[in-house]
Amino acid sequence: MAPTPITKQMEQAAKKDTKAAAPSPNGKANLLASAFVTAPGPKKAMQASENNMGDLAKIYELSHADRRVLATGPKVQIVDSEDKPVAEMPIALFRAISIKKEMVAGSDPVIKLPAGLDVRMVQDLIKHFNEITTFKKYAKELHPYQAPGTYEDIQLCSAAGYLGMMAYTQRIFNRYWALIRAERLPEYSDIDAFSTVQTQIGENLFRKVVTKLAQAELDGKIPDPEDYAAYLVHNERFGLAVTEAKEKMQKHLDYVERTAKREANAKQKNDADQMWSQQRKLNEKEKAEKDKAKWEAARKTEAELAARVQAKWVQPGKKHWTAEEAGYLRRVRGINVAI
């Protein structure tokens, strides 16, 4: 689906890598010292001992003579999930490059690999460190495998992660993570690799790719929908995971839509209630003003009538009362007069 496979992009990026800044002399000294520190006992005691070593440098920055020192002494045996020998390396070297130094505690340590790790990449990883601490004068950092090498790269990162050497493969992993997060979609061959490596790191990348493709499908951004549909059938694990991811995403979208609709309806009702309340207050105000004006007009009329009746009442002679004046006299004074 993408014009350039991830592994090819990794190769191009690797060519642009620059050498890391050299660590301080103290960092080199701490690295060598930590390789030969022994801390028998529980993991807590070992960690306390390691904390005294300070920040450690990578062995790439050590001189060839210093690296050769790490190749001496007893070795740790590494076996697969069925206890078959895979590789070995000096304990001092393991301690210098791994954060999981508890793996080589005790005498004659043996590290057993989980079933998900490909022993070929484990062997490549151990061989790399064994070589730069023996006959290779110049130490070069680990680089991605040549394309197609997505499966191998992920297995290499997984092996390093399990053995506590992730610092040496972090750049490879970071590039995959960044490329997966980028806008372009991965090739089907890359997805095959992500679907195959069932290690912790492999699972993280797999879930990331599943989420990306599921979202792309929901957004209508799959450039070859027919081929993609056929691929989902071909890669059953990926197809099921994408289907499940889409269902979860759709449920979330439906929830968001329902929530937005409820909030919109609530807002509409609230706005209507506020409008009705304001209108009611306005009507009550208008009614009060009309009533006030009515009563004021009535009082004024009553006052004018009272004044007219009083003026006529005090006049001498025969009086001619209007019906309104007669009604006032009868209502206010209790006097009946002829109209």
Q: Give pLDDT tens digits for 87-132.
A: 999 999 999 999 999 999 988 899 999 999 999 999 999 999 999 9
Domain boundaries, the chain: 6-211
Residue 113 and residue 122 in contact, taking contact as beta carbons nearer than 8 Å? yes
User: Which range, 58-67, 171-180, 230-239, 328-337, is most confident?
Assistant: 230-239
CB 319 within 8 A of CB 336: no
pLDDT over 70 percentage in the chain: 83
| Per-residue pLDDT reduced to its tens digit, 162-182 | 999 999 999 999 999 988 888
Longest dimension (CA), the chain: 148
pTM for the model? 0.68
> How confident is the model over 5-19, as pLDDT tens digits?
666 665 665 555 544
pLDDT value for 6: 62
Section 231-237 average pLDDT: 96
* Residue 58 CA neighbour count, 13 Å, CB half: 18
Tell me the pLDDT of the chain averaged across its residues: 85
Overall average pLDDT of the 198-220 stretch: 94
- pLDDT above 90 (res 221): yes
Band (40; pLDDT cuts 50, 70, 90): very low
Tell me the range of 93-102, 253-262, 299-308 where mean pLDDT is highest.
Answer: 93-102
Q: What is the pLDDT of residue 36?
A: 63
C-alpha distances out from residue 14 to 8, 101, 123, Å? 10, 29, 22
What pLDDT was estimated at residue 18? 44
Do the Cβ atoms of 27 and 57 come closer than 8 Å? yes
| pLDDT of residue 201 exceeding 80 | yes
